[in-house]
């Protein structure tokens, strides 16, 4: 048995020794190529058996509880880390204090903003982890993949590399494709497995932004609720003064002052909510585009690192002419 590469797509294939010089169909790209550049393969692979010690998890369940606990802890820490010194050292008559610390709406808006940016930070950390994995070489043309033991050892090596660089995405796909190839010896089956992983990754990415989209939708509503509340109080206070028996003009002046302060609160809540949602939307767009681009790069990486490096047994075409003649 010999091993050679397709001259067009560089796909990895195996053929009988007698097929050298004859045409064959590349299982990777479908073009006719000549069996050449033989590399003799041994019948067995050296090394200890890894069948008993390898336990490949094909579809590890995401640790949602851990991510949720991290989200809650970081969000609460950042929220109180901001407001405790802010309330302690900020002048209560200042404009910034009125915008961020008067009424309940600013607290809710800031809380939503902190949760949103914490979730975006988690997504960005996952993207950076995948980008580091793209710099790794999990499979090459020289990686032995002829026997089940070879494939087991390759998967064990990949998992160890992934653990070292904290790769939770790319290595899982490579290992899944190798496991499928181990049982079927079919590149098409491995490609189908990678397609399933790809669809799952895009669906998970879309689901990862669901809560963020809810926050973007709900934050302006908080501002409008605060506006309605402020306008309602101001109108109610003005109606109470004007509808009563006022003996002194100064009472009307005082009442109008309270009305204007309530109106200021009403419009301030909308201002804070709209500014917050604009910032969240810009940050979410940047991270989401980086996330999608990273998945596209992973697709290209998988095609080059996995499919073309899987050895496929082929035979010379019937009626083919010897290339040496």
Tokens of 115: 């949760």
Q: What confidence tier does 118 reach under pLDDT thresholds 50, 70, 90?
A: very high
Q: Which residue has the higher pLDDT, 281 or 307?
A: 281
Condensed to tens digits (0 to 9), the pLDDT of residues 220-232 reads 998 888 877 777 7
Please give the Cα distance from 302 to 133 (Å, whole number): 11
Please give the Cα distance from 258 to 263 (Å, whole number): 9
Closest by CA position to 98, among listed 269, 276, 260: 269
The residue assigned the tokens 């008993």 is: 52
Q: How many CB atoms neighbour CB 221 within 10 A? A: 11
8 Å CB contact between 312 and 13: yes
8 Å CB contact between 140 and 308: no
Q: Which residue has the higher pLDDT, 87 or 56?
A: 87
Closest by CA position to 315, among listed 10, 106, 14: 14
CA distance between the termini of the chain: 22
Average pLDDT in the chain: 78
Question: Mean pLDDT across the stretch 149-170?
Answer: 86
Enumerate the domain spans of the chain: 2-48, 64-309
8 Å CB contact between 315 and 15: yes
Give residue 63's pLDDT.
57
Cβ partners under 8 Å of residue 103, min gap 6: 226, 229, 230, 265, 269
Under DSSP, the state recorded for 322 is: P
8 Å CB contact between 19 and 6: no
Condensed to tens digits (0 to 9), the pLDDT of residues 239-267 reads 665 555 555 556 556 656 666 666 767 78
Q: What confidence tier does 85 reach under pLDDT thresholds 50, 70, 90?
A: very high
Condensed to tens digits (0 to 9), the pLDDT of residues 16-54 reads 776 666 667 776 666 667 666 555 444 444 444 444 444
Give residue 60's pLDDT.
45
Cβ partners under 8 Å of residue 287, min gap 6: 120, 123, 124, 127
Under DSSP, the state recorded for 43 is: S
Element (H, E) at 158: helix 148-165
Chain centroid to CA 253: 58
Q: What is the DSSP string of 164-190?
A: HHT-SSHHHHHHHHHHHHHHH--HHHH
Tally of helices (H runs) and strands (E runs) in the chain: 8, 6
């Amino acid at each position: 048995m010999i091993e050679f590469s397709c001259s067009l797509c560089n796909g990895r294939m195996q053929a009988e020794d007698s097929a050298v010089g004859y045409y064959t169909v590349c299982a990777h790209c479908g073009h006719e190529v000549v069996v050449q550049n033989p590399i003799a393969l041994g019948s067995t692979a050296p090394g200890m058996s890894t069948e008993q010690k390898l336990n490949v998890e094909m579809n590890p369940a995401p640790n949602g509880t851990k991510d949720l606990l991290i989200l809650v802890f970081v969000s609460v820490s950042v929220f109180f880390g901001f407001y405790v010194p802010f309330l302690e050292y900020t002048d209560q008559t200042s404009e910034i204090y009125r915008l961020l610390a008067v009424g309940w709406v600013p607290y809710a808006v800031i809380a939503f903003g902190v949760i949103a940016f914490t979730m975006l930070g988690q997504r960005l950390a996952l993207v950076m982890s995948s980008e580091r994995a793209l710099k790794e070489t999990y499979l090459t043309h020289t990686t032995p993949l002829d026997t089940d033991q070879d494939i087991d050892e390759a998967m064990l090596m990949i998992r160890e590399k992934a653990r070292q660089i904290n790769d939770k995405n790319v290595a899982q796909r490579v290992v899944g494709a190798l496991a499928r190839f181990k049982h079927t010896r079919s590149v098409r089956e491995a490609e189908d497995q990678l397609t399933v992983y790809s669809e799952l990754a895009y669906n998970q990415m879309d689901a990862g932004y669901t809560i963020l989209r809810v926050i973007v939708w709900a934050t302006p509503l908080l501002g409008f609720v605060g506006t309605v509340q402020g306008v309602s109080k101001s109108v109610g206070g003005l109606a109470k003064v004007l509808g009563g028996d006022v003996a002194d003009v100064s009472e009307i002046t005082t009442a109008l002052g309270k009305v204007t302060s309530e109106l200021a609160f009403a419009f301030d809540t909308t201002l804070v909510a709209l500014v917050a949602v604009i910032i969240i939307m810009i940050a979410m767009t940047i991270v989401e585009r980086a996330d999608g681009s990273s998945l596209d790069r992973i697709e290209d990486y998988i095609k080059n690192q996995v499919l073309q490096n899987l050895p496929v047994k082929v035979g010379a075409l019937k009626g083919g002419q010897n290339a040496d003649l």
